[in-house]
């Protein structure tokens, strides 16, 4: 009897010891995930000090208030002088653009890259962030609950500047976890790096180590907001401007939804300007005059702004310009072939064109390659907001930064506030009706991968937490589709009150009020009211400027 009891106790103890081991072994069977985020990491010098403190030194308070005020006033005068005396009077805008650059460039001294697309003064993401990225691969396979390994990189550079280090990182993760494959997940601008890396692996014939790939709100299939802005494609639409003004008001209250958060000063300027633009749309002739003036301003202003902020030289932003806009964008920002500026930046432009030739010139071919290589891929995208107005395609459904038709590559979408036409819907085959969103605004049957595409309505670009169950289930699974993932439906709606996602139905899919609000025709009364609001804003701005009451440290929120 004692032997039986002893054997029983030994058996229990063995199970007690082996159970955690079995659990750990089962956990290690899970596919490791390598995550590539978008931009947003601060830029630092090699010693770890911050090199880009946007507008931080422009606060007009404190001991330096008077000197700060004088500097701001001088900058305003330097910009207004060529604007009025040369631009408005003689239609000469070159010096205006040059003045914008000269005044703004000191605010972002080392944000941009050099003429060859390399960092200046050794700048990059924080050295500790880079070290932690590598250290994570040295730890046990419990980096976080989802088995996710975050790859740190300098988001300004060409994606191809990172592919070899990313490949070494992936190989480290495989070695540590003992797995043969990883899943990869990219958000926002990280999508460009992921596409470059997969193209790089295809060239090396080394794609077998990639299992699942998910693009979340990725700008890599084109970001209309950047593609049209870089290429100078201007378009005025009073309805779009009015709706966008309402979107700004909504975003000002919620603190997000426009791609970045407006501070009080910039919010007031942009909101009142949008309001006025909408009201001056009295006749086509008047609108043509405004549009012509804006186009001239734009072509002088945009290159100067992009160079001053550093974006013109940050190659990763150029990966979002589509193949049809690329020539016009290069001509606008760097001048035509053979120009002095074009020659000066030849090395950087080579990097832009390398990515263009290997990836963005043939997006369809890229996804064909994934199919042939047996890489299972999917998309997560959002909509319910508008792109920035005054550019072509501003009325595309978007998450305020990336258009749904591009983030869910190939999706067919209605314009903002409208549904797909009855003729279009009548032509959808019965087998594809399941891909029509309950709000009748989106058809996913035209996507490159309709069975692995999930969309969330009424959510801005930064919303992500509520989608993580779908993301992790897809990345950890084997050939998961919308029909096998159990944690979410293909069509979902975001609730700002609870910060949760629920299945979209015909009853809960209404747009926000700023989208559905009818566009009213301007009247004499509304035009005068808008004009008064605009000039009141300008007067208040100038008054506060000269009294030293403006705090520019909060210009961007």
Residue 474 predicted with pLDDT over 60: yes
Regarding predicted confidence, which is higher, 429 or 245?
A: 429
Regarding predicted confidence, which is higher, 90 or 365?
A: 365
- Average pLDDT value for residue range 198-204: 98
**Percentage of residues in the chain having pLDDT higher than 90:** 43
Residue 15 predicted with pLDDT over 60: no
Regarding predicted confidence, which is higher, 251 or 187?
A: 187
Residue 350 predicted with pLDDT over 80: yes
Counting other chains too, the contacts that 362-370 makes at CB distance below 8 Å and 24 or more residues apart are 363/221, 363/222, 363/409, 364/448, 366/195, 366/198, 366/199, 367/409, 367/448, 367/449, 369/198, 369/199, 369/202, 370/198, 370/213
What was the pLDDT predicted at 226?
86
What was the pLDDT predicted at 340?
92
What's the pLDDT tens digit per position in 531-553? 788 778 777 777 776 666 655 54
What's the pLDDT tens digit per position in 477-529? 888 899 899 888 999 999 988 999 999 999 999 999 989 888 777 777 777 88
What was the pLDDT predicted at 508?
95
Cβ(102)–Cβ(122) below 8 Å: no
Residue 198 predicted with pLDDT over 90: yes
Q: For residue 131, give Cα distances in angstroms to 136, 155, 187, 266.
A: 9, 16, 21, 36
- Average pLDDT value for residue range 97-108: 71
Angle at 382 between CA 377 and CA 383, to 5 degrees: 145
What was the pLDDT predicted at 420?
97
What was the pLDDT predicted at 229?
84
Buried b (16+ CB within 10 A) or exposed e, 410-440: bbbbbbbbeebeeeeeeebeeeeeebbbbbb
What's the pLDDT tens digit per position in 392-449? 888 899 998 899 999 999 999 999 999 999 999 999 999 999 999 999 999 999 999 9
Token pair 């008047």 in the structure block, residue: 286
- Average pLDDT value for residue range 383-389: 88
Instruction: Return the SS3 of 140.
Output: coil
C-alpha 402 chain-centroid distance: 6
pLDDT-based confidence at residue 63 (cuts at 50, 70, 90): very low
- 418 Cβ partners below 8 Å, 6+ apart? 441
How would you classify residue 37: left for phi > 0, otherwise alpha for psi between -120 and 50, otherwise beta? beta
What was the pLDDT predicted at 56?
40
Average the pLDDT over each of 8-22, 293-307, 432-446, 496-510 and give the range with the smallest value: 8-22
Residue 3 predicted with pLDDT over 50: no
- Average pLDDT value for residue range 309-335: 92
Regarding predicted confidence, which is higher, 246 or 414?
A: 414
Regarding predicted confidence, which is higher, 415 or 54?
A: 415
pLDDT-based confidence at residue 43 (cuts at 50, 70, 90): confident
pLDDT-based confidence at residue 28 (cuts at 50, 70, 90): very low
Q: Report the 3 state secondary structure along 468-535.
A: HHHHHHHHHCCCCCCCCCCCCCCEEEEECCCCEEEECCCCCCCCCHHHHCCCCCCCHHHHHHHHHHHH
Highest mean pLDDT among 48-62, 322-336, 517-531 belongs to 322-336
- Average pLDDT value for residue range 256-267: 52
Regarding predicted confidence, which is higher, 259 or 37?
A: 37
Q: For residue 56, give Cα distances in angstroms to 88, 108, 124, 461, 548.
A: 32, 10, 19, 26, 16
What was the pLDDT predicted at 528?
81
What was the pLDDT predicted at 125?
87
Backbone angles phi, psi at 229, to 5 degrees: -65, -45
Residue 240 predicted with pLDDT over 50: yes
What was the pLDDT predicted at 88?
58
What was the pLDDT predicted at 266?
60
DSSP-derived pairing of the beta strands 148-150 and 500-503: unpaired
Regarding predicted confidence, which is higher, 415 or 283?
A: 415
Residue 291 predicted with pLDDT over 90: no
CA gyration radius for the chain?
Answer: 26
Mean pLDDT of the chain: 80
Regarding predicted confidence, which is higher, 16 or 35?
A: 35
What was the pLDDT predicted at 222?
85
What was the pLDDT predicted at 26?
38
Residue 57 predicted with pLDDT over 70: no
pLDDT-based confidence at residue 311 (cuts at 50, 70, 90): confident
Q: What distance in Å separates the CA atoms of residue 379 and residue 374, rounded to the nearest whole number? A: 16
Average the pLDDT over each of 50-54, 102-106, 124-128 and give the range with the smallest value: 50-54
What was the pLDDT predicted at 41?
77
What was the pLDDT predicted at 501?
95
Cβ(113)–Cβ(315) below 8 Å: yes
Q: What distance in Å separates the CA atoms of residue 64 and residue 360, rounded to the nearest whole number? A: 48
What was the pLDDT predicted at 293?
64
What's the pLDDT tens digit per position in 178-195? 899 999 999 999 999 999
Q: What distance in Å separates the CA atoms of residue 211 and residue 202, rounded to the nearest whole number? A: 14
């Amino acid at each position: 009897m004692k032997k039986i009891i002893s054997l029983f106790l030994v058996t229990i103890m063995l199970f007690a010891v082996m159970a955690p081991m079995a659990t750990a072994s089962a956990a290690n069977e899970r596919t490791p995930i390598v995550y590539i985020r978008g931009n947003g990491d601060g830029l630092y010098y090699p010693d770890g000090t911050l090199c880009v403190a946007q507008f931080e030194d422009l606060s007009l308070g404190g001991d330096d208030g008077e000197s700060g005020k004088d500097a701001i006033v001088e900058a305003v005068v330097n910009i207004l002088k060529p604007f009025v005396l040369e631009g408005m009077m003689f239609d000469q805008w070159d010096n205006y653009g040059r003045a914008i650059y000269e005044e703004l460039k000191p605010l972002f001294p080392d944000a941009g890259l050099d003429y060859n697309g390399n960092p200046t003064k050794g700048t990059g993401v924080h050295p500790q962030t880079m070290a932690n990225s590598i250290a994570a691969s040295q730890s046990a396979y419990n980096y976080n609950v989802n088995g996710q390994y975050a790859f740190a990189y300098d988001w300004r550079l060409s994606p191809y500047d990172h592919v070899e280090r990313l490949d070494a990182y992936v190989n480290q993760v495989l070695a540590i976890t003992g797995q043969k494959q990883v899943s990869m997940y990219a958000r926002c601008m990280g999508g460009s790096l992921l596409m470059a890396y997969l193209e790089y692996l295809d060239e090396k014939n080394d794609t077998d180590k990639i299992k699942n790939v998910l693009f979340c709100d990725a700008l890599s299939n084109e970001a209309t907001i950047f593609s049209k802005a870089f290429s100078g494609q201007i378009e005025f639409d009073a309805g779009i401007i009015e709706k966008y003004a309402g979107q700004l008001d909504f975003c000002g209250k919620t603190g997000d939804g426009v791609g970045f958060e407006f501070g009080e000063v910039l919010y007031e300027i942009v909101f009142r300007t949008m309001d006025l633009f909408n009201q001056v749309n009295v006749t086509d002739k008047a609108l043509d005059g405004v549009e012509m003036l804006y186009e001239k301003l734009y072509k002088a202003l945009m290159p100067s702004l992009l160079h001053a902020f550093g974006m013109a030289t940050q190659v990763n932003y150029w990966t979002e310009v589509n193949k049809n806009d690329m020539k016009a964008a290069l001509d606008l920002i760097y001048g035509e072939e053979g120009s002095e500026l074009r020659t000066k930046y030849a090395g950087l432009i080579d990097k832009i064109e390398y990515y263009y030739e290997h990836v963005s010139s043939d997006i369809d071919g890229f996804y064909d390659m994934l199919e042939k290589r047996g890489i299972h891929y999917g998309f997560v995208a959002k909509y319910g907001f508008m792109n920035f107005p005054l550019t072509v395609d501003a009325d595309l459904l978007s998450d305020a930064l990336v258009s749904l038709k591009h983030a869910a590559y190939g999706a067919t979408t209605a314009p903002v506030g409208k549904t797909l036409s009855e003729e279009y819907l009548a032509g959808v085959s019965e087998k594809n009706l399941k891909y029509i969103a309950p709000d009748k605004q989106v058809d996913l049957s035209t996507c490159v991968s309709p069975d692995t595409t999930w969309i969330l309505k009424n959510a801005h670009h930064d919303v992500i937490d509520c989608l993580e169950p779908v993301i992790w289930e897809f990345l950890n699974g084997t050939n998961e589709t919308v029909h096998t993932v159990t944690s979410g439906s293909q069509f979902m709606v975001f609730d700002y009150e609870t910060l949760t996602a629920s299945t979209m139905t015909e009853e809960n899919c209404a747009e926000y009020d700023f989208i559905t609000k009818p566009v009213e025709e301007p009247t004499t009364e509304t035009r005068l009211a808008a004009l008064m609001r605009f000039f009141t804003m300008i007067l208040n701005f100038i008054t506060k400027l000269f009294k030293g009451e403006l705090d520019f440290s909060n210009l961007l929120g």
